[in-house]
């Protein structure tokens, strides 16, 4: 078993979002944006990563956030938003969505980053990740993996990685472990994003084969979803515990714990024959300069989100 440590992809905040934001935020800069806006749940790593790097690059940042199941990481996430001054807007529901978007985004030179940073430009960051892994294999730094296990949320990470490995000529099978509802992530949408990314890269550089998608090796995994986004079952909790105690990995139960659960399940399977399985750690492990304590004043944290500290 091997581990790809995207958890330390940046000294400021690690995880898979960094690869996607590299190209997205550059595009925002090129287009003269003043503000970067995005969406997610209250504890969204994507929203926090977007805010952290937007501020570092001189943008203002708005995050429109929806309620979710309580998890231990949410208080720290909110305190980090509070520290860097993110404009946090509670998602009002579909009935008032357009009015909210107009109020907070219109006329503010905003560059809107889609949910999870999932667009073809975000996926390109993980095309690079696949090529990077192939380079490491060629250099002898790691054995060529038979399978790669990665949490599959809004799909850009898994789609880009699948395409990158295909372009590199590695026959590695990507196991995309679904962690969000099917209306957000499903095979049809995945295929569309995969092919769009390949097509647009080919238009930018004809030496990049759009037909590489036909060589892509993907296995869609639904069985570790555990009933909902940010919902954890015993299998997920056990996987997080094994990762911590035996592998020295600090995972969480929303994304990486479910991907690890899939890998551990397959390692214990009767058909496992000693192949190299690689776990792609998409969770930040860099310490944040805040605590989980309830702040004395809410400041930029919406009052209704203060209940996540209870």
Q: Taking the domains of the chain in order of start, what are their residue ranges?
A: 2-8+118-281, 17-116+291-309
The C-alpha angle with vertex 101 and arms to 310 and 187, in degrees rounded to 5, equals 80
Alpha-carbon span 139 to 116, nearest angstrom: 32
pLDDT score for 219: 98
List pLDDT tens digits, range 246-295: 999 999 999 999 999 999 999 999 999 999 999 999 999 999 999 999 99
Is the pLDDT confidence value at 223 over 90?
A: yes
The mean pLDDT of the chain is: 97
List pLDDT tens digits, range 207-216: 999 999 999 9
CB atoms within 10 A of CB 120: 20
Alpha-carbon span 271 to 10, nearest angstrom: 37
Q: What would you measure as the largest C-alpha separation in the chain, in angstroms?
A: 59
DSSP code per residue over 179-236: -S-TTTS-HHHHHHHHHHHHHHHHHH-TTS-GGGGGG--EEEE-TT-TTSTT---HHH
Is the pLDDT confidence value at 94 over 90?
A: no
Q: Do domains 2-8+118-281 and 17-116+291-309 have the same CATH topology?
A: yes
Q: Does domain 17-116+291-309 have CATH number 3.40.50.1100?
A: yes
Class of the CATH domain delimited by 2-8+118-281: alpha beta
pLDDT score for 95: 83
pLDDT score for 288: 96
Is the pLDDT confidence value at 37 over 90?
A: yes
Averaged pLDDT, 190-199: 98
Averaged pLDDT, 111-118: 95
Alpha-carbon span 242 to 263, nearest angstrom: 12
Averaged pLDDT, 148-176: 98
Q: 2 near 143, Cβ under 8 Å? A: yes
**pTM to 2 decimals?**
0.94
pLDDT score for 188: 97
């Amino acid at each position: 078993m091997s581990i790809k440590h995207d958890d330390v992809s940046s000294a400021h905040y690690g995880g898979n979002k960094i690869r996607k934001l590299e190209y997205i935020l550059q595009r925002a800069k090129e287009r003269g944006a003043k503000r970067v806006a995005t969406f997610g749940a209250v504890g969204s790593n994507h929203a926090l990563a977007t805010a952290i790097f937007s501020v570092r690059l001189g943008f203002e940042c708005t995050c429109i956030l929806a309620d979710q199941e309580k998890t231990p990481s949410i208080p720290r996430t909110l305190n980090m938003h509070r520290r860097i001054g993110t404009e946090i807007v509670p998602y009002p529901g579909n009935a008032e969505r357009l009015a909210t978007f107009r109020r907070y985004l219109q006329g503010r030179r905003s560059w809107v980053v889609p949910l999870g940073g999932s667009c073809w430009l975000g996926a390109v960051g993980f095309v690079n990740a696949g090529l990077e892994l192939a380079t490491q294999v060629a250099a002898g730094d790691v054995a060529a993996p038979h399978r790669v296990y990665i949490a599959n949320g809004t799909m850009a990470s898994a789609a880009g990685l699948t395409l990158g490995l295909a372009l590199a000529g590695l026959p590695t099978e990507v196991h995309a472990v679904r962690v969000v509802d099917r209306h957000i992530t499903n095979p049809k949408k995945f295929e569309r994003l995969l092919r769009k990314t390949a097509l647009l890269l080919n238009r930018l550089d004809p030496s990049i084969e759009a037909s590489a998608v036909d060589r892509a090796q993907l296995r869609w995994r639904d069985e570790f979803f555990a009933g909902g986004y940010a919902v954890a079952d015993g299998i997920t909790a056990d996987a997080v515990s094994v990762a911590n105690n035996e592998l020295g990995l600090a995972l969480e139960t929303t994304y990486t714990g479910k991907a690890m659960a899939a890998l551990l399940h397959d390692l214990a399977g009767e058909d496992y024959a000693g192949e190299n399985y690689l776990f792609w750690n998409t969770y930040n492990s860099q310490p944040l300069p805040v605590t989980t304590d309830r702040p004395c004043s809410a400041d930029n944290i919406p009052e209704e989100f203060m209940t996540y500290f209870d």
